Every structure is written in structure tokens, then in C-alpha cells.
Amino acid sequence: MAFTNSDRNAFVDDDKNRTVFLGINNLTPGINTTFPEYDPERQTQKLPLNISLLSVCILVAAFGIIGNIVTMVKIVYDSKLHTPTFAAIGYLAFVNFLALIALTVHLILVVWVIKIKNLWTQLTVVFINDTLYLSSACHVLLLLSVRYLITVHPLQSRRRLTVKAVSLCSMTVWPVSVLFGAIKSYFFYVHKQTGSHFMMLINSITYIIFLLLVCFITFALHVWKIRAIQTSRSATKRLQTRMNLVVTAIITVFAMFQIFAIAKSLYIYKGYCSKSKYVGVYTFFHLSMILSGYLTFSLNPYIFFFLSFFRSCKMKKKLSAPESTEIPTLDMRSPIRLMKMVSHFSETNRKQYVCK
């Protein structure tokens, strides 16, 4: 069958679009395709990025990196924050800091699609991104579990839940994350060798299961903690509203990142991104996934550390505030008044003795 010049030009255009827009997927966690083919006349290729969206990504990344650094430094050098909760927050900030660095490199390669021709270099990039991605999600679950145990089981937590225990749990997360990154790197290696997009379907199924699992665990821990708080006298509507907002923000940002990654993976599997008329949709999925990834790794220190730090400061102020020790005027005519006075005096002396 003979091809006309217009047919050849169409195939060339589709191949160019495919090369440019599929070449940036290798640094995306779980969404891995091929790098751009080598072009001796042009070592780098640029994508038509939206400048405003790129500016938002850079701004969010800057705030996220600064927030994670401040969180780690404050927790390490402040001995008052050496508690299980802040230890879990510190480990999460460390993982998010590394993830932001990797995602920033990804963004640079999106703007200037630099050629990475070595297969083992590509596998290393995929391995690092997938490892950090799973480690961040697991550390979020670790922090939520610590908060649940402290709230629902305070007596057992004081004896068994220590900074050392949280550190051991954090160290356990890393081998699991490394194993996950190795498996995803193997999938990428098979994809590179066979050229089949079937691995994109496997990626989508994997991330759908992971999304449902993380959201279910987060929601279950939150519901159980709310029920435990409602049975106590310290439950307030303001506290429950704040907890609901925190969990909603965590699930929303994480789900956004997952949904865009899944949509992009399915887009590649169906082969729509190889057609020039669908390139704009594919670019939207990719850039939205990058932005949601920045939000995921940047909001955690502001959600967890600063809220917990300010709350602990308020509690210290309340405990250190002087209480009124005035004794009510003695009135022997009223037995009820006399009983209240004796009860108030005994309670005041007991508090002073405990404080000493």
C-alpha cells in the first residue's frame, strides 16, 4: 500500500507529539513511558507550558521546602518537641522534603525535556520517585495512627508509645517503600523492553487500590477518634470541626494527585496521547498532577506541625496562667455557702501541692 505525502506528514507529526509528550513521564511516580528519541540537531525540547501554572508550582514548591526545613530544624533543636507526635511529623517532613526536590527536578525536565538515554539512569529515576511517593503516604498514615492512639488510648500510649517506637516504625516504612520502588522499576524495565502499554493499566489498577486503601484507613481512624472524643468531657464543637477540616484537606489533596495520575496513565494506555488533537488534554493531566503533587508534599508541615505547635503553646499558657485563690467571705448563716467555701479551699490547696 502506497502512502501519500500528507499521510507521511501526519504520521511524522503524531510521532513528534508522541515523542515530546511521552518523554516527560519517566519521572512521574508509577506513570512511566519512553524518553524522547535522540535528536542531534536539538538536544532539548520545550513544552508549551502555561506560565501562570508554572509560577504557581514554583511558589508552592518554595513554601513547601521552607516549611519542611523549618519543621525539621525546630523539632530537632527544641527538646520540648521530642514527643511521639512531633517525631512522626519530623519524619514526614524529611520524606516530603526529598519528594519536593525530586518533583522539582521533574518539573525542570518538563520545561526542558533533557535527554536521558541510559536505561539504568531511567530506572534509577523511577525507583527514587516511587519510593519517596509510597514513603510519604505511609508516614502520613503513621502520624494519623500515633494521634489516634494518643487520643483513644492515652494510658497505654504513655507507657508504650515512645519516640523510639515511632522511629522504629519509620525505619520499617523504608524497606517496604524500597521494595515498592523496585517492583515499579521492574514494570518500567519490562515496558521498555516490550514496548507494550499494558503496564500503564497495571499502574492504574495499583494506584486505584492504593488510593482506596489510604483514604479508607484515614477515614476510619478519624471516625474512631471522633467517637472517642465525643464520649469525653473535653469534646468541643470547634475541636471536631478543626479535625474534620484537617482530614478533609489531607484526603482531598492526596485524592487529587492520585486521580490525575490514574487519568494520565489510562490516557497513555488508550493511546490518546499519540494523537495531536488530544495533546492538550494530556498536558492538562500532566501539569495538574505535578501541581497536586506539590500541594501534597507542601501542605503537610503546615497542616500538622504548625497546628500542633500552636495548640501545644496554647495549652502551656492555660496551664501556666495563675488561678484565683481568693477565699469567699465566711457566712455562717448559710450551711450551703459554708460547704462551698470549704470545698473551694481544699481544691485550691490540692492544686498548689501538686504543682510544687
- Domain residue spans of the chain: 9-320, 325-356
CA distance 260 to 266: 10
Average pLDDT over residues 330-354: 48
Whether pLDDT at 131 is above 50? yes
Give pLDDT, residue 208.
Answer: 86
**Residue-averaged pLDDT of the chain:** 71
178-205 in b/e burial notation, b at 16+ Cβ within 10 A? eebbeebbebbbebbeeeebebbebbbe
Average pLDDT over residues 40-59: 59
- Is there a contact between 185 and 126 (Cβ–Cβ < 8 Å)? yes
Give pLDDT, residue 10.
Answer: 42
How many other C-beta atoms can be found within 10 angstroms of the C-beta atom of residue 105? 15
Residue position matching grid coordinates 520545550: 46
- In the chain the first and final C-alpha atoms are separated, in Å, by 96
CA distance 288 to 273: 16
Whether pLDDT at 122 is above 70? yes
pLDDT digits (tens, 9 = 90+) for 228-284: 877 766 566 777 777 778 788 888 888 888 887 787 777 766 655 555 555 566 667
- Is there a contact between 247 and 303 (Cβ–Cβ < 8 Å)? no
Of 114, 106, 108, the closest CA to residue 32 belongs to: 106
Cα angle 88, 101, 260 (rounded to 5 degrees) comes to 85
Residue 260 three-state SS:
helix
CA distance 284 to 302: 27
Give pLDDT, residue 249.
Answer: 80
- Is there a contact between 290 and 106 (Cβ–Cβ < 8 Å)? yes
How many other C-beta atoms can be found within 10 angstroms of the C-beta atom of residue 272? 14
Give pLDDT, residue 195.
Answer: 67
Give pLDDT, residue 343.
Answer: 55
- Is there a contact between 163 and 280 (Cβ–Cβ < 8 Å)? no
CATH 3.40.50.620 fits 9-320, yes or no: no
Provide DSSP, 328-346.
Answer: PPP-TT-HHHHHHHHHHHH
Give pLDDT, residue 310.
Answer: 57
pLDDT digits (tens, 9 = 90+) for 51-91: 677 778 888 888 899 989 988 998 899 888 888 988 999 99
CA distance 203 to 31: 7
CA distance 296 to 282: 21
Of 323, 326, 320, the closest CA to residue 345 belongs to: 326
Residues in Cβ contact with 203 at an 8 Å cutoff, skipping those fewer than 6 apart: 30, 31, 32, 184, 187, 265
Q: Which of the pair, 352 or 51, is modelled with greater confidence? A: 51
User: pTM above 0.75?
Assistant: no
Q: Which of the pair, 295 or 271, is modelled with greater confidence? A: 295
